[in-house]
Amino acid sequence: MADADAEALRADRADWTAQHCATYLESGGAQGHVLDLSDVGGRSFTTHCLIRYTGRKSGQSYIKPLIYGNAGGEIVVVASKGGADSHPAWYLNVLSQETLGVQIATQAFEASWREPQGDERHQVWEYMCHLYPPYIAYQQSTSRRIPLVMLSPLRPIETFSAPAH
């Protein structure tokens, strides 16, 4: 997908994503974990987590809602950026740190991360495309290989809170 097309898609979803994140945070994870994404080609029961990471340049803490799957006890998220030709900022930031925070519904944990390789990557990619079929079109529309990030829980942490306004 050309970056301009991906940018238009992201702009259309930006308000929705911000509202989704706010609902997830304000409810302590009681709302926002499972959403109906059938209107955009997804499934009617699509699971979402929140990741909390530190900006590699700003040093600020950020929270991002992402679709996730569970593969062999690890949480899987996809750095799709809607099929854009560049990686999402959250992914570039995660690359610069050893651990990050993850919240799934009402539970949160610190997690280490890795990127699957070879056959494992192929199998995990197929699984994630089953969970959210638009990933197939995203990959077809860009020349970059869309990264997969596998998250392994290390220890429980407090659930995330909404930033003060």
pLDDT digits (tens, 9 = 90+) for 16-61: 888 999 999 999 999 999 999 999 999 999 999 999 999 999 999 9
The span from the CA of 131 to the CA of 124, in Å, is 11
**Within a domain: 41:** yes
Of 122, 104, 101, 128, the residue nearest 112 (C-alpha): 101
pLDDT digits (tens, 9 = 90+) for 60-114: 999 999 999 999 999 999 999 999 999 999 999 999 999 999 999 999 999 999 9
pLDDT for 165 equals: 45
**Within a domain: 23:** yes
Q: Model's pTM, two decimal places?
A: 0.90
For the chain, how many structural domains are there in total? Answer: 1
15 pLDDT tier (thresholds 50, 70, 90): confident
Name the residue with tokens 């799709």.
80
CATH, residue 141: 2.30.110.10
**Within a domain: 120:** yes
The span from the CA of 135 to the CA of 145, in Å, is 12
**Within a domain: 162:** no
- Domain coverage including residue 102: 3-157
pLDDT for 51 equals: 98
Q: Across 55-160, where does the E strand assignment appear?
A: 61-71, 74-78, 99-104, 107-114, 148-157
